[in-house]
Amino acid sequence: MDRPTYIKVLETHRDQVYRYALFSLRQAEDAEDVTQEAFLRLWRSGSDLPPDRCGPWLMRVVRNLCVDWARRRQSQRRNFGQPDTEAVDRLPANEEGDHAPDGGLSNLTERQADLLAALDTLTPQAREVVLMHYFQGLKLREIAQILDRKVSSVKVQVHRARKALRLVLDAAAPPALAQERETG
């Protein structure tokens, strides 16, 4: 892939890749590192993929990187205890002024915060499918391609995840409020 084509692919897919990493890892710094690594892998692969097929390739790579990253983080926590979650607040703001450690995820409505908390209760497999479909707008057949699964399996996963999310959300909110949400 030549440089101009690569830049085009980078501009087209960087936000999608970054968002997936951010919602998967919940830390802007980690998401930035993973995004950078995913695009470097695309360059190093010397891929001659046509640009329109780079999206699924990148999503597959960023998904695998996030899984590895999360696993490593979990292992570090086991070995070194809980991370210093306030450390990022002590850092000076960068030149763009957006030093929010969670990439803006702290400015959520109550409903969105509930939903994100509910997402955390899903299995990693179910969570990634939900994020790809509902948040990133990927079609189920595209997700199946990225995850190398059958479309029917992805459909079942989305269905189960929806039911699981509903259970968690209904347990978190008073029934009257939950009913109001459905009718409203």
Partner 1 sequence: METCRNIELLLADYSAGDLDTGQKADVDGHLSACADCRAELARELDLRHTLAGLPQATCPDRVTTAILAAIDAEPVAAPQRHWLSRGRAYIGLAAAVLALAVLLPRGLDLARGPAEPTYTAQEIRTARKGATTALLLATQVIDRGERETARRLGESVPESLTRSLKAITAQGEGGQG
By CB under 8 A, residue 124 contacts partner 1: no
Q: How far apart are CA 67 and CA 59, in angstroms?
A: 12
Cβ-Cβ contacts under 8 Å for 41 (sequence gap 6 or more) = 61
Distances (CA, A) of 178 to 1, 105, 183: 51, 23, 9
Binds partner 1 by CB under 8 A, chosen from 10, 67, 70, 168: 10
Binds partner 1 by CB under 8 A, chosen from 25, 62, 115, 147: 115
Separation of CA 113 from chain center: 15
Which parts of the chain are beta strand (E)? none
By CB under 8 A, residue 53 contacts partner 1: no
The residues binding partner 1 (CB under 8 A) are 1, 3, 6-7, 10-11, 14-15, 17-19, 22-23, 28, 32, 35-36, 39-40, 43-48, 94-96, 98, 103-105, 107-109, 111-112, 115-116, 130-131, 133-135, 137, 139-140, 152, 155-156, 158-159, 162, 165-166, 181-182
